[in-house]
């Protein structure tokens, strides 16, 4: 072989045995892996085939946007097992006319219904091409990718401008100032929120981009702040607990069961129309990962109250072992430190309060002094934002993790139930 | 059913028939889709299973970092069919001692070899936990994900400081100032480059983060500029042509065949050690997507010389139809406008010059005036950076696309061949 042929030969790596073995071991799905399916025929997938949308079942998942006529259902993107990627954006209302808000909610809902089916929000290339495209086109070939778009209404929607005060969800108000706050002016609040989650970030980006375009065209709302998340940092039922950028499993004790959703997430009081909705809290949390990386791992473990690699509580061996908050070491100190994150957040220590976390890792590249600029787009759902405040006030005061994080962005929104086919999110507010 | 049960019922969307049909149609892999494989047993995958690493064959792809003892091979990440995600970072050397550079290249190479096997660069949780972790841990459970890390050497490596001038690759020098330049001081240059590409962005981020840590610990280099890319905007052999954030297919005429790699990409002149390497040009290209979205699609089509949806040249019906640059319309004007991007870039109009493009879409969120801040991390490989300059000088002068883009970041690097097992990238420079 010539040197050139050698190079081309290197061009064709195959699915390794090790890779296939890992797949089979991790999910018991080995037999269904395309590579494994071809094993008998000695025709392994090419890398291009393995990387195609066709080979990844997650790219074909489709969630319903509308609820059935005879049920009240939450919007998708809350109970939904967290997809890998997110694009979050909040908006300021630029109108005082409730009809403008109504039109925007109706147009957004219609568009979200299309997007979640993998369809463009309108023609990409109109037949009369001397027109502006209604859809920007970058997701044309990408399929559904498990897209969900979740829409929230901020406190000002129910303020004096729009005459909707009597429809205000009981607990919707601005968040209190919290001890961890280092909020930046450009990353605060918003009157409306959109969170797109998907198995392809380009699908999520496209959804938010085209919804922001619709907002601009209606003249009802303008962009306020946004964040893309590149890795899920929360698990739903049946999912492995992912890791945050501190390298720790995040959310081992997160809500997963229906009874917890009913008890802690879905709203059951206040105006009728709000029942079955929930409150969304969004925090952009900067993580000082270079400082963190310089901390001893024993310190890191004490900060979380868990072992870094296994995720086990410091009193246990396995991730899901129940933490023993009472156990003390030979010196008489609690094995799970009093100021550890797990203990501070534990429902056992907070009158049973639980919140659903649905967060994402993000990076903003490098900061002004050349350090890695990264963190967590924290998103929680609960039936009262006071539950978030209670936990966060405690964390901000006495949590060992506080030294390594800054809360730089914040928003709170009420997320109405899903609309019925033919209607739109928040329709009950009007008429 | 009660209302609560209804909600839980909504919780369990299944792989839709539509989704499975699309999968089968797109890649002929329908029979190998896990969902389809389960069809007979009436046990569809749950969404959590469909979204797991186990179900996605791309997460198990593993590329070799080292070349075999008897061959010269390029580094991975050039011919490799583009993975979905990238993390690029450039570095400034902070030493004048060639031994420091040597140590850094050796340590980086060893670490990259581990990372591409899905292994941490060192212990995450040392047994002696009163130590700092060698690996930051956030990719521990994520597998190989087709990771490649490609390392480049900037012009200053061969400048007066290090005594390596006689080893300088023949064409390595700073890029000329180009008419499209709007370069920002913080996004220029760099003495070393690392580009991680993977099917999971957290795997790519982790690789760059831990390599940057190694650079800092050796004291040899400091971070300069970085960019994450969230969607591949170039295709390799066997891959569908993806779309950039203008919504157009990008790179239909990109290099795919071995003879083009040999003729246009791999270096065959200059010092022996540089043979089989290539030159990497990186440009951060801001795309004014909100302006673009307000342009008529007929204008957009004329700017690219292609139809937006199909990607066909304006003289053809299908994406891969050969463009007919000579054809004129009834009024006598070229159907593919003289200033269209495709025509300006065409090898037919540039003495046969071709470059390999391997670019990624990015977003930086919103800019200072609330507009979507997004663009293309353009990466090209060629056996002479002058080929890039030639094309870009022409584009910057007379390309219709120029109105909608700004080149804000730039770097040029020589990418040595892959090391042999037991050696490291650039070993031939020392000793």
Q: What is the mean pLDDT of chain A?
A: 90
Q: Chain A 209-268, CB below 8 Å of chain B: which residues?
A: 209, 212-213, 222-228, 230-231, 236-240, 242-248, 258, 261-262, 266
Q: Is B4 a residue whose pLDDT tops 80?
A: no
Strand, coil or helix: B258: helix
For A215-240, the pLDDT digits (tens) are: 999 999 999 999 999 999 999 999 99
CATH of the domain at A136: 3.30.70
- The residue segments making up the domain with residue B392 are 232-417
Mean pLDDT, residues B221-226 taken together? 97
Q: Report how far apart, in Å, the C-alpha atoms of B97 and of each of A136, A324, A380, B160, B415 are.
A: 51, 53, 51, 11, 21
CA dihedral A154, A376, B222, B112 (to 10 degrees): -140
Inter-chain residue contact A57 with B57, CB threshold 8 Å: no
> Is the domain of A138 the same as that of A241?
no
Chain B contact set for A61 (CB, 8 A): 13, 15, 19, 47, 50-51
In DSSP notation, B304-318 reads: HTB-TTT--BTT-SS
**A85-93 and A405-415: which strand pairing?**
unpaired
The answer to the question of residue B224 being in a domain is: yes
The answer to the question of residue A63 being in a domain is: no
- pLDDT given for residue A128 in this prediction: 79
Question: Can you list the positions of beta strands (E) in A199-253?
Answer: 221-229, 231-232
Q: Which residue of A lies nearest to B142 if distances are taken between CA atoms?
A: A242
Using pLDDT thresholds of 50, 70 and 90, give the confidence band for residue A104.
very high
> Is the domain of A265 the same as that of A223?
no
Strand, coil or helix: A112: helix
Please measure the distance between the N-terminal and C-terminal CA atoms of chain A and give it in whole angstroms.
78
Chain A contact set for B12 (CB, 8 A): none
- pLDDT given for residue A26 in this prediction: 31
> Is the domain of B238 the same as that of B196?
no
Last residue of a domain, one of B178, B210, B230: B230
- Are A112 and A119 in contact by the 8 Å Cβ rule? The answer is no
Mean pLDDT, residues B45-52 taken together? 94
Inter-chain residue contact B137 with A248, CB threshold 8 Å: yes
Inter-chain residue contact A247 with B124, CB threshold 8 Å: yes
> Between B201-218 and B98-115, two packed helices, what is the crossing angle to 10 degrees?
150
Which member of B57, B63, B132 has the closest CB to residue A294? B132
For residue B419, give the nearest of B68, B24, B36 by alpha carbon: B68
For B364-415, the pLDDT digits (tens) are: 999 999 999 999 999 999 999 999 999 999 988 888 999 999 999 999 999 9
**Who has greater pLDDT, A67 or A250?**
A67
> Is the domain of B251 the same as that of B388?
yes
The answer to the question of residue B68 being in a domain is: no
C-alpha to C-alpha distance for A200 and A58, rounded to whole angstroms: 9
- pLDDT given for residue B391 in this prediction: 95
- pLDDT given for residue B127 in this prediction: 80
- pLDDT given for residue B154 in this prediction: 98
Q: What is the mean pLDDT of chain B?
A: 90
Distance to chain A for B294, nearest Cα, Å = 6
Q: Could you tell me what percent of chain A has a pLDDT over 90?
A: 84
Beta-bridged to residue A380, according to DSSP, are: A281, A357
Query: Tokens representing B219?
Result: 């004291």
Inter-chain residue contact A58 with B35, CB threshold 8 Å: no
Inter-chain residue contact B245 with A138, CB threshold 8 Å: yes
The answer to the question of residue B387 being in a domain is: yes
The answer to the question of residue B183 being in a domain is: no
Q: Is A34 a residue whose pLDDT tops 50?
A: no
φ and ψ of B91, to 5 deg = -135, 150
Q: Is A364 a residue whose pLDDT tops 70?
A: yes
> Is the domain of A299 the same as that of A270?
yes
ipTM: 0.92
Mean pLDDT, residues A368-392 taken together? 97
Lowest mean pLDDT among A18-27, A170-179, B163-172: A18-27
Chain A contact set for B129 (CB, 8 A): 296-298, 301
Q: Is A14 a residue whose pLDDT tops 80?
A: no
- pLDDT given for residue B42 in this prediction: 52
For B235-261, the pLDDT digits (tens) are: 999 999 999 999 999 889 899 999 999
> Is the domain of A348 the same as that of A360?
yes
For residue B219, give the nearest of B97, B105, B95, B110 by alpha carbon: B95
Chain B contact set for A146 (CB, 8 A): 47, 50-51
Q: Chain B 147-206, CB below 8 Å of chain A: which residues?
A: 199-202, 205
Q: Is A84 a residue whose pLDDT tops 80?
A: yes
Distance to chain B for A86, nearest Cα, Å = 11
> Is the domain of B134 the same as that of B282?
no
DSSP at A149: E
The answer to the question of residue A40 being in a domain is: no
Q: Chain B 64-83, CB below 8 Å of chain A: which residues?
A: 64, 67-68, 71-74, 79-81, 83
For residue B121, give the nearest of B197, B211, B204 by alpha carbon: B211
- pLDDT given for residue A44 in this prediction: 82
Which member of B4, B50, B308 has the closest CB to residue A58? B50
C-alpha to C-alpha distance for B99 and B416, rounded to whole angstroms: 18
For residue B184, give the nearest of B410, B411, B408, B412 by alpha carbon: B408
- Are A129 and B301 in contact by the 8 Å Cβ rule? The answer is yes
Q: pTM of this prediction?
A: 0.92
Which member of B137, B144, B245 has the closest CB to residue A19? B144
Q: Report how far apart, in Å, the C-alpha atoms of A351 and of each of A346, A348, A398, A399, A405 are.
A: 9, 6, 17, 18, 25
The answer to the question of residue A411 being in a domain is: yes
Which member of B47, B57, B266 has the closest CB to residue A50? B57
The answer to the question of residue A31 being in a domain is: no
- pLDDT given for residue B149 in this prediction: 98
Q: Is B270 a residue whose pLDDT tops 70?
A: yes
Does the CB of B423 have a partner CB in chain A at under 8 Å? no
For B9-28, the pLDDT digits (tens) are: 333 333 332 223 333 223 33
> Is the domain of B335 the same as that of B217?
no
Chain B contact set for A418 (CB, 8 A): 10
> Is the domain of A143 the same as that of A89?
yes
- pLDDT given for residue A33 in this prediction: 41
Q: Give the Cα-Cα-Cα angle A411, A412, A418 (nearest 5 degrees).
A: 125
For B274-322, the pLDDT digits (tens) are: 999 999 999 999 999 999 999 999 999 999 999 999 999 999 999 999 9
> Is the domain of A117 the same as that of A194?
yes
For A284-321, the pLDDT digits (tens) are: 999 999 999 999 999 999 999 999 999 999 999 999 99
Using pLDDT thresholds of 50, 70 and 90, give the confidence band for residue A58.
very high
Mean pLDDT, residues B158-184 taken together? 95
Number of domains in chain A: 2
Q: Chain A 385-404, CB below 8 Å of chain B: which residues?
A: none
C-alpha to C-alpha distance for B159 and A365, rounded to whole angstroms: 28
- pLDDT given for residue B283 in this prediction: 98
Inter-chain residue contact B27 with A52, CB threshold 8 Å: yes
> Between A98-115 and A201-218, two packed helices, what is the crossing angle to 10 degrees?
150
Using pLDDT thresholds of 50, 70 and 90, give the confidence band for residue A127.
confident
Using pLDDT thresholds of 50, 70 and 90, give the confidence band for residue A42.
low
Q: Is A23 a residue whose pLDDT tops 60?
A: no
> Is the domain of B150 the same as that of B221?
yes
Inter-chain residue contact A13 with B245, CB threshold 8 Å: no
Chain A contact set for B209 (CB, 8 A): 289, 372
- pLDDT given for residue A130 in this prediction: 79
Distance to chain A for B195, nearest Cα, Å = 14
Mean pLDDT, residues A109-125 taken together? 97
> Is the domain of A117 the same as that of A240?
no
For B319-352, the pLDDT digits (tens) are: 999 999 999 999 999 999 999 999 999 999 999 9
Query: Tokens representing B254?
Result: 């990109």
């Amino acid at each position: 072989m010539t040197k050139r042929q050698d190079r081309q030969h290197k061009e064709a790596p195959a699915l390794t045995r090790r890779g296939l073995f890992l797949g089979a071991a991790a999910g018991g799905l080995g037999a269904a892996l395309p590579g494994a399916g071809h094993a008998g025929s000695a025709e392994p997938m090419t890398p291009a085939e393995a990387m195609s949308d066709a080979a990844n079942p997650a790219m074909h998942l489709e969630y319903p946007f509308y609820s059935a006529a005879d049920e009240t259902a939450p919007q998708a993107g809350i109970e939904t097992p967290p997809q890998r990627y997110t694009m979050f954006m909040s908006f300021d209302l630029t109108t005082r006319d409730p009809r403008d808000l109504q039109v925007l909610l109706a147009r957004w809902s219609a568009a979200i219904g299309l997007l979640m089916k993998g369809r463009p929000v309108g023609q990409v290339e109109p037949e009369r091409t001397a027109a502006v495209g209604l859809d920007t086109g970058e997701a044309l070939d990408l399929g559904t990718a498990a897209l969900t778009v979740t829409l929230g209404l901020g406190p000002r929607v129910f303020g004096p401008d729009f005459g909707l005060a009597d429809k205000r969800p009981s607990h919707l108000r601005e968040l209190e100032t919290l001890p961890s706050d280092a909020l930046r002016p450009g990353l605060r609040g918003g009157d409306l929120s959109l969170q797109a989650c998907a198995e392809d970030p380009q699908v999520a980006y496209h959804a938010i981009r085209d919804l922001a375009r619709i907002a601009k065209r209606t003249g009802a709302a303008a962009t306020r702040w946004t964040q893309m998340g590149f890795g899920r940092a929360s698990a739903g039922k049946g999912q492995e607990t992912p890791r945050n950028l501190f390298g720790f499993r995040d959310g081992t004790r997160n809500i997963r069961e229906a009874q917890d959703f009913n008890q802690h997430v879905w709203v059951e009081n206040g105006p009728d129309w709000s029942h079955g909705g929930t409150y969304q809290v969004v925090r952009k949390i900067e993580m000082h990962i270079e400082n963190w990386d310089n901390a001893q791992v024993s310190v890191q473990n004490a900060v979380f109250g868990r072992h870094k690699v296994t995720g086990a509580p410091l009193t246990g061996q396995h991730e899901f072992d129940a933490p023993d908050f009472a156990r003390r070491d030979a010196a008489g100190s609690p094995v799970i430190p009093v100021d550890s994150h797990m203990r501070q957040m534990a429902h056992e220590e907070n009158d049973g309060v639980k919140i659903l976390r649905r967060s994402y890792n993000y990076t903003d590249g490098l900061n002004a002094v050349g350090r890695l600029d990264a963190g967590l787009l924290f998103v929680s759902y609960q039936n009262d934002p006071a539950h978030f405040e209670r936990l966060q006030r405690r964390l901000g005061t006495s949590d060992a993790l506080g030294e390594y994080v800054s809360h730089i962005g914040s928003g709170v929104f009420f997320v109405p139930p899903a609309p019925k086919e033919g209607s739109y999110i928040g329709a009950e507010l009007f008429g």
